[in-house]
Homo-oligomer: A and B are copies of this chain.
Amino acid sequence: MKSVGRVETQYLDLPAPVPLDCGRELSPVRVAYETYGTLAPGGDNVILVCHALSGDAHAAGVSAEPAAAGTRDGFGAEDRDGAAGAALGWWDGMIGPGKAFDTDRYFVVCTNLLGGCRGTTGPSSIDPGTGRSYGSDFPVVTVADMVRVQKAALDALGVRRLAAVAGGSLGGMQALEWAVRYPDLVDAVVAIASTHGLHAQGVAWNAIAREAIMRDPAWQGGHYHGTGAAPEAGMGVARMIGHVTYLSAPALDDRFGRRLQAGDDISHTITGAEYQIESYLRHQAGSFVRRFDANTYLYLSRALTYFDLARQHGGGSLPRALSGLRARTLLIAFSSDWLYPPAASADIADALRGLGKEVEYHVIEAPYGHDSFLLEEARQTPLIQRFLAGEGGA
């Protein structure tokens, strides 16, 4: 498959303060973004791609900067990091000439989301009021706030209408929020491995990950920037938790089983990594803390926990929340995804069907759990291509 080739992240500063759900206004706001393909003269070929918790604006092509690698730098992540520091986008298998999001036809935009740490304004940005990083003084943002910022950025880029909004996980939440918030601007939604509201266990995992960060003394109440310390120990634990929840138990059995890291017998160690899975988790934690900001982790984890279409838009009713939606909707879930189980996508599909809206819902049988949205590119591609071409079947 061809790639979009060499890309560079660009930046724009929003012209006006952004009003937030919490009641505060944020200013200035910078947005990091990348684009792939060419904007059609009529402006009717734009697809906004939204990233997940640990992703960034670098969704496709090769960048000279190190990759953030989507929500996942585990299984097969080796493939993502090219040689000599060149990094492949986190959804490169899905975005490019002839791919699911075909850059020969579409103008694909991806922005680093509000609260992020990869170029868009977030907790590590400078607070103009103090001249230092916001830290935990950064306003608590929601998925709706992320979408407001994307909207303002697209306005600044001259994009008036979206042929589609697409994303997986937290990215899928943004896509759904777009369609509900701006029903007249969105023609189609592709929400993958996502939900209208995380289930209790998902709320719990996110809470525990945040606890691990906030209980690290190096967090310093959220004001660790500039102190020379950072809650790396706690964020490592958070990442380990996340990693296990992104994968399925059978996938871990297949990949690691109970294999020892070295030798034929246990070495009776409390502190050492005895099993391959233990060593793998430590490695994942170590590489993650080097590239990600702990406060961004807290803020994005909170935002995706808060996301609740029914509560925010429907007074508790999902059908009411979706009643104004005008976009065609494609929902894809994965059979082994226990963090964002298919049932949530099925809820959305049922509600949309009940409202007489155009919706397709597919469950892909895949063993990799939630991370399937990053790994099962070959099986998502025809579904997305047919859907975008208006040829999908319910």
Taking the complex as formed, is A200 at the interface, i.e. its CB lies under 8 A from any CB of chain B?
Answer: yes
The 8 Å CB contact of A200, one of B208, B269, B277, is: B277
Least Cβ–Cβ distance between A256 and chain B, in angstroms: 5
In chain B, what residue has the closest Cβ to A273?
B207
A201 to B258 Cα, complex, angstroms:
10
- Is there contact, CB below 8 Å, between B269 and A140? yes
B252 engages A199 (CB within 8 Å): yes
Docked complex Cα distance between A281 and B142 (Å) = 23
Q: Which 6 A-B pairs have the closest CB atoms?
A: A215-B233, A200-B252, A140-B268, A22-B268, A201-B249, A207-B278
Q: Are B236 and A270 in contact (CB under 8 A)?
A: no
A200 touches B299 (CB 8 A): no
Q: Using a CB-CB cutoff of 8 Å, which residues 232-284 of chain A contact chain B?
A: 233-234, 236-237, 240-241, 244, 249, 252-253, 255-258, 266, 268-271, 273-275, 277-278, 281-282
Partner of A252, one of B204, B240, B308: B204
Partner of A234, one of B215, B275, B341: B215
B270 with A298: CB separation less than 8 A: yes
- With a cutoff of 8 Å between Cβ atoms, the chain B residues found around residue A204 in the complex are 240, 244, 252, 277-278, 281
Docked complex: A280-334 residues within 8 A CB-CB of B: 281-282, 285, 298-299, 302, 305-306, 308, 311
Q: Are A277 and B215 in touch, CB under 8 angstroms?
A: no
- CB atoms of A237 and B266 under 8 A apart: no
Q: Are B257 and A200 in contact (CB under 8 A)?
A: yes
Contacts of A341 in B (CB 8 A): 249
How far does the alpha carbon of A212 sit from the alpha carbon of B252 in the complex, in Å? 21
Q: How large is the interface on A (under 10, 10 to 19, 20 to 34, 35 or more residues)?
A: 35 or more
CB distance from A187 to the nearest CB of B (A): 30
CB-CB nearest in chain B for A239:
B208
A3 close to B (CB within 8 Å)? no
A contact face: mostly helix, strand, loop, or mixed? helix
Tell whether A51 is near chain B: CB-to-CB under 8 Å.
no
| Interface flag for A89 (CB, 8 Å) | no
Decide yes or no whether A197 CB sits under 8 A from chain B: yes
Residue numbers in B under 8 Å from A136 (CB-CB): 270-271
Q: Is the CB of A211 within 8 A of B236?
A: yes
Per-residue B-contact encoding for A177-201, CB less than 8 Å = 1, 0 else? 0000000000000000000011111
A275 touches B203 (CB 8 A): yes
**Is A11 an interface residue when CB atoms closer than 8 A count as contact?**
no
Tell which of B215, B281, B302 touches A207, judged by Cβ atoms closer than 8 Å: B281
Known contacts being A201-B244, A244-B201, is A140 close to B270, with CB within 8 Å?
yes
Distance A252 CA – B241 CA, assembled complex (angstroms)? 18
Contact with B along A109-127 (1 / 0, CB 8 A): 0000000000000000000
Interface residues of A in 328-354 (CB under 8 A from B): 338, 341
Smallest beta-carbon distance A240→chain B, Å: 5
Which single member of B197, B270, B273 contacts A258 (CB below 8 Å)? B197
Instruction: Determine if B270 and A208 form an interchain contact, defined as CB atoms under 8 angstroms apart.
Output: no
In the complex, what distance in Å separates the CA atom of A236 from the CA atom of B208?
9
Establish whether residues A249 and B210, one from each chain, have CB atoms under 8 Å apart when the complex forms: no
How far does the Cβ of A283 sit from chain B's closest Cβ, in whole Å? 12
- Chain B CB within 10 Å — which of A200, A253, A273 has the most? A200
